[in-house]
Amino acid sequence: MLIKVKNPADVTENDVTDAQLFAQRRSFIRASGQIALGTALGTLFTPSIVDARGQPLKAKKNTRFNTSETLSSYQDVTSYNNFYEFGTAKEDPAINARHFKAQPWTVKVDGAVNKPGNYAFEDIINLNQLEERIYRFRCVEAWSMVVPWVGVSLASFINQFQPSSKAKYVEFTTLYDPKRMPGQNRAVLNWPYVEGLRMDEAMHPLSMMVVGLYGEVLPNQNGAPLRLMVPWKYGFKNIKSIVRIRFSEHQPKNTWQIAGPKEYGFYANVNPQVDHPRWSQKRERRLGEFLKRETLMFNGYADEVASLYQGMDLRKNF
């Protein structure tokens, strides 16, 4: 049964708190399943990690889909991450990705597309046409954040390659380079990391190709230089450090679906009615907060995306 939850809210440019103010708050870090609470004094990481800021990006603020919820701190967003290529602990990516070089960067585009090829980052991302969108981000482990992402609509990004009529799905692949990504030296997943979307999901106005956050170049631990953002889906769907985009007639197998088919489906839509086999998805904890809140259907974007799944059994297609 599909439940629609109305929770759309716009935010003006004046409602967005400056990132530098947020960066002064104490980081809300959970290590080994524990919550580190305290006042705004000090940090659990050295300044060389949490205070390293990226190059500024010029982006127009898109208020069409923005949430009015309080932004998560820059420090939380950049120090509490799932990025197994750099380690399985939440603090590992911020530590192990410090020296990762994300430039030069090439993306291979192939499959059912009229303009295949190997494209340099600067040839497929127009830095003069970037926009900022404030989206909720919900991880399957019941934690969440609110982030001002910078990038371009995924639809406009895809259209430049001219997918053919046979393109029913789009598959994304992360860089595989164990020397640069030390987590890939461990067989915790089937490397390289792969994700996929139906074409109608990819072309939805909410879907985004991200190159930055908080008005700055995307930090390494957050998926530099190119990552996906599909805000109504769980975080593992939002693949990072993309090096290949393949268009196909057939549904691709995503990495977590291969690793745990009973726990992770292809769609990965946020659905509080479908529990993970090992924990409930009904509530979540926003980074920086102590109390949990109710999880919203489609992460609060039901009004915008529920029609994509009309008639589908969302318990079976999880």
Burial group, residue 131, by CB count within 10 angstroms (0-12, 13-18, 19+): middle
What residue ranges do the domains of the chain occupy?
13-309
Mean pLDDT of 185-199: 98
Tens digit of each residue's pLDDT (9 = 90 or more) over 38-77: 333 233 333 333 445 789 999 999 989 889 899 999 999 9
Phi, psi of 249 (to 5 degrees): -80, -20
Residue 156 has a pLDDT of 97
Please, which pLDDT band fits residue 146 given cuts at 50, 70 and 90?
very high
In this prediction the pTM is: 0.84
Mean pLDDT of 116-141: 96
Mean pLDDT of 184-210: 98
Residue 52 has a pLDDT of 56
CB 231 within 8 A of CB 181: no
- The CATH class that applies to domain 13-309 reads alpha beta
Distance CA 233, CA 229 (A): 9
Please, which pLDDT band fits residue 29 given cuts at 50, 70 and 90?
very low
Residue of 200, 194, 260 whose CA lies nearest to 228: 194
Least confident of 61-65, 183-187, 266-270: 61-65
> Does residue 27 carry a pLDDT above 60?
no
